[in-house]
Every structure is written in structure tokens, then in C-alpha cells.
Amino acid sequence: MKKKLRIYIDTSVIGGCYDDEFNIWSNQLIQEFKIGLHSPVISEITQVEIIKAPNEVKSILLKLMDYDCELISETEESIELAQKYIEAGILSENFEYDARHIAVATISNVDMLVSWNFRHIVHFDKIRQFNSVNMREGYKAIEILFTKRGY
């Protein structure tokens, strides 16, 4: 049996289910989680960010929990790695949550991170910089994608 990909999704993918620009891709990925093609992974960071979201977005998070969603916790190690991204100038302190998403996904050794955050996460130069820090700190490079293509 083929190993399921562990796919970390950030808040933008969940909210994307109700966004005209991203609903096709978000809902397709959620459907693939539902039928068991992949294993969804979220973090406590996502839970905190979703608190401010509309109820229909919160309902997507609840559905994910029914699809054997893995909930990962931040650790001192992941918080330190996120700080290294900020210290390297990849992201500013204003976008600490984005750095924390990438760090917790990296530390948890997911197969990939999917996001619709093109400014701070899914950005070619930033992906290279995140992975440069990861490699320097002894972690593997993280696959960061924005569409279903590639997995």
C-alpha cells in the first residue's frame, strides 16, 4: 500500500474553501483528505487563527478533524526555528505566524506544506531562504506548494 502524504495546510487553505479565487483547489484538497488519499496536518497556530474566522470556515476545520487530521503542537524547537527565519530577514516580526507555520511543519517532518499565502510563504525566493535556514540548522528542506499539481 502506498504511503499517504502528510500535508500541512495553513489557515489560507481552510479559508480558501469560501474564497472565489481558491475554492476549487481548497475544496478539492479537502475532498482528497475526506476520501483518504492524503493525511491532513494542522497546528495549534491554525486553530488560533481560525477563532477569528466566520463560522463556515470554522466548520471546515471541524470536518478535517473527522478525516484523521493530525494536530501538531508548537515546541521550543519550532519557535526557535521560526525566530531564525525572522532573524535571517525572510519575514518581519509582523508575520511571525507565517514563520511559525513553516517552522512547525518543518520540525514535524511533513511531506509538504500547502498555502495560498503568496506573499510570505509560497514565494520562490522565500522558499529558497526558508530552506537555506533549514539546511543550515540541520533540518531537511520543506516542500511548499500552492496547487494540487506536484503531489
* pLDDT recorded at residue 148: 47
Contact (Cβ atoms closer than 8 angstroms) between residue 78 and residue 103? yes
Q: pLDDT band at residue 107, thresholds of 50, 70 and 90? A: very high
> What's the CATH fold of domain 5-145?
Rossmann fold (3.40.50)
Region 57-62: mean pLDDT is 93
Contact (Cβ atoms closer than 8 angstroms) between residue 85 and residue 91? yes
Region 123-128: mean pLDDT is 85
- Choose among 96, 97, 30: nearest CA to 57: 30
The whole-model pTM stands at 0.89
Q: Per-domain residue ranges for the chain?
A: 5-145
